[in-house]
A = this chain, B = another copy of it.
Amino acid sequence: MTELKDLTAAEWKIMRIVWEERKAMTREVYTIAMERHGWSPATVKTLLRRIIDKGYLSATKIGNGFLYRPAKSSIAVVGGAVRSLLDNAVDGTGPVLAQLVETTPLSQKDLDLLQNMIDQKRKEQKP
């Protein structure tokens, strides 16, 4: 588990695009980033390079340019980032998690998923 440098705000926005697209050439990324954030192609290219350096994207040469893919799933990366934020929750992680569940719109399926996790943790804890 190589030590990953944190993503910056702008880099997150780019990552989100690549996660959504699952894989994308520079052009695709900057077209979307243009609409979504008004960034110039040059800006996007710089961000892509920096993200590559940080190891969150991998690139494969295809013809002229590169095809980018996420090097890690969004769940893993977001989860990790959230986890380190949670360390700042002085009153404990539980309350924050609860508050999050409370204020997040969740589908039936999501609720079931959560329910399962909780049941499971109870079992681990009991005996």
Which residues of A come within 8 Å of B, CB atoms? 6, 9, 12, 15-16, 19-20, 73-75, 77-79, 81-83, 85-111, 113-118, 120-122, 125
> What's the nearest-Cβ distance from chain B to residue A21, in Å?
10
Given A88-B15, A90-B16, answer yes or no on A96-B111 (Cβ-Cβ < 8 Å). no
What's the Cα separation between A113 and B96 when bound, in Å?
Answer: 10
Q: SS class of chain A's interface: helix, strand, loop or mixed?
A: helix
Q: How many copies of this kind of chain does the complex include?
A: 2
B89 x A74 contact (CB < 8 A) = yes
B85 x A98 contact (CB < 8 A) = no
B90 x A106 contact (CB < 8 A) = no
B90 x A74 contact (CB < 8 A) = yes
14 other A-B residue contacts (CB within 8 Å) besides A74-B90, A82-B96: A12-B88, A79-B99, A79-B103, A81-B85, A82-B85, A82-B86, A82-B100, A94-B109, A94-B113, A97-B100, A97-B104, A98-B117, A101-B121, A102-B117
